[in-house]
């Protein structure tokens, strides 16, 4: 078995990890044009537990979330890049717009997102995190990791286009 696994395989691995008393960590995202912000985030997520599962939005899901022209990198290549990282234990492709079903199926001990999200609506700024209510329903923990300012795929794309347009 490689690092890219099915949901069924992921559920089995999570059950075994829990049986061994190990902490399961899950995060998710599009991970298009991997950059230092992604790397720092994934490394910090991995440090929270024994096994890091990364839910990867499929091409169709990424397109619905990010708009036409995205993702720039096809899902198989994005998965391969994530699998090359030592901090990533497993990658699971999913087609939904949120990871709620993935979170519910795996029930990780810790669910991690970046600082551009908010775990709840109690005065926190950031995008809503629909997965938080799923995590809370089974007693898991949501961890919001600090956002790395100036490091986003959207900013990277804008910079590339700016350079390209300046050369015309």
- Residue 22 in any domain: the answer is yes
What pLDDT does residue 123 have?
46
Tokens of 134: 């799923």
How many CB atoms neighbour CB 95 within 10 A?
Answer: 12
- Residue 16 in any domain: the answer is yes
Domain count for the chain: 1
Beta bridge partners of 3: none
Give the closest residue to 82 by CA, choosing from 68, 70, 71, 93.
93
- Residue 122 in any domain: the answer is yes
Which residue range(s) make up the domain with 23? 7-166
Q: Taking the model in full, what pTM does it have?
A: 0.87
| Conformation bin of residue 123: beta by default, left when phi > 0, alpha when psi is -120 to 50 | left
Alpha-helical (H) ranges within the chain are 7-19, 36-46, 59-66, 75-83, 100-106, 131-137, 153-166
119 pLDDT above the threshold of 80: no
- Residue 67 in any domain: the answer is yes
Residues 130-144: what's their mean pLDDT? 95
- Residue 2 in any domain: the answer is no
Task: Please tell me which residue, 45 or 122, carries the higher pLDDT value.
Answer: 45
Residues 95-112: what's their mean pLDDT? 97
Are the beta carbons of 87 and 43 closer than 8 angstroms?
yes
What's the rounded Cα separation, in Å, for the pair 66 and 45? 23
3-state SS track over 13-62:
HHHHHHHCCCCEEEEEECCCCCCHHHHHHHHHHHCCCCEEEEEEECHHHH
At residue 18 the predicted structure's pLDDT band, cuts being 50, 70 and 90, is very high
- Residue 90 in any domain: the answer is yes
CATH of the domain at 85: 3.40.50.620
């Amino acid at each position: 078995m490689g690092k890219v696994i099915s949901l069924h395989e992921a559920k089995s691995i999570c059950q075994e990890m829990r049986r061994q008393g190990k902490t399961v960590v899950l995060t998710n995202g599009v991970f298009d044009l991997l950059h230092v912000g992604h790397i720092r985030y994934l490394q910090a997520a991995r440090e929270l537990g024994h096994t890091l599962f990364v839910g990867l939005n499929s091409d169709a899901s990424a397109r619905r979330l990010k708009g036409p022209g995205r993702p720039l990198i096809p899902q198989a290549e994005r998965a391969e890049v994530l699998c090359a990282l030592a901090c990533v234990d497993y990658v699971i492709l999913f087609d939904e717009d949120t990871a709620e079903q993935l979170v519910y199926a795996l029930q990780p001990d810790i669910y991690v997102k970046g600082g551009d999200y908010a775990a709840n609506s109690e005065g926190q700024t950031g995008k809503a995190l629909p997965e938080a209510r799923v995590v809370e329903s089974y007693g898991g923990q949501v961890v919001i990791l600090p956002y790395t300012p100036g490091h986003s795929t959207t900013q990277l794309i804008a910079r590339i286009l700016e350079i390209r347009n300046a050369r015309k």
